[in-house]
Homo-oligomer: A and B are copies of this chain.
Amino acid sequence: MSKANLFYAQSGGVTSVINASACGVIETARKHKDKIGKVYAGLNGIVGALKEELIDTSKESASTIAALRSTPAGAFGSCRYKLKSYQENQREYERLLEVFQAHNIRYFLYNGGGDSQDTANKVAQLSQEVGFPITCIGVPKTVDNDLPITDNCPGFGSVAKYVAVSIREAGLDVASMCESSTKVFVLEVMGRHAGWIAGAAGLASEQEGDAPHIILFPEIPFQKDKFIRKVKSCVKKFGYCAIVVSEGAQNPDGSFLADAGGKDAFGHVQLGGVAPFVAEMIKEETGFKYHWAVSDYLQRSARHIASATDVEQAYAVGKAAVEFALAGKNAVMPAIVRGKGKKYSWRIGEAKLSDVANVEKMMPRNFISRDGFHITDKGREYFAPLIAGEDYPTYKKGLPQYARLKKVLAEKKLKKWRP
Contacts and interface: CB of A to CB of B under 8 A. Distances in A.
A94 interface: no
Nearest to A73: B172
A177 B80 contact: yes
Report copies per complex: 2
Contact of A297 (B170, B179, B303): B170
Contacts of A206: 399
Nearest to A160: B398
B296 A180 contact: no
A232 B178 CA distance: 43
Given A169-B298, A180-B79, A398 B389 contact: yes
Interface stretch (A114-122, A264-272, A334-342, A360-368): A264-272
Given A79-B177, A169-B304, A204 B399 contact: yes
Contact of A395 (B78, B170, B179, B390): B390
Interface stretch (A8-16, A130-138, A248-256, A408-416): A8-16
Interface in A211-259: none
A174 interface: yes
A221 B276 CA distance: 27
Given A47-B179, A77-B175, A204-B399, 6 more contacts: A77-B177, A168-B399, A169-B302, A203-B399, A272-B273, A272-B276
Task: Kindly list the 3 A-B residue pairs having the minimum CB-CB distance in the complex, ordered from nearest.
Answer: A74-B176, A265-B265, A272-B272
A209 to B, nearest CB: 10
A198 B90 CA distance: 50
A173 B81 CA distance: 16
A307 interface: yes
Interface in A288-307: 291-298, 300-305, 307
Given A168-B399, A296-B293, A398-B161, A179 B271 contact: no
Given A172-B301, A390-B392, A181 B384 contact: no
Contact of A164 (B169, B292, B398): B398
Contacts of A165: 304, 399-400
B181 A80 contact: yes
A44 interface: yes
B297 A291 contact: yes
A276 B271 contact: yes
28 contacts: A14-B177, A44-B180, A73-B172, A73-B173, A73-B176, A74-B177, A75-B176, A79-B179, A79-B181, A81-B180, A164-B398, A166-B298, A169-B297, A170-B301, A204-B399, A207-B404, A264-B264, A264-B265, A271-B271, A292-B294, A292-B296, A293-B295, A293-B297, A295-B298, A304-B305, A384-B397, A384-B398, A390-B392
A277 interface: yes
Contacts of A297: 169-170, 173-174, 185, 291, 293
A280 interface: yes
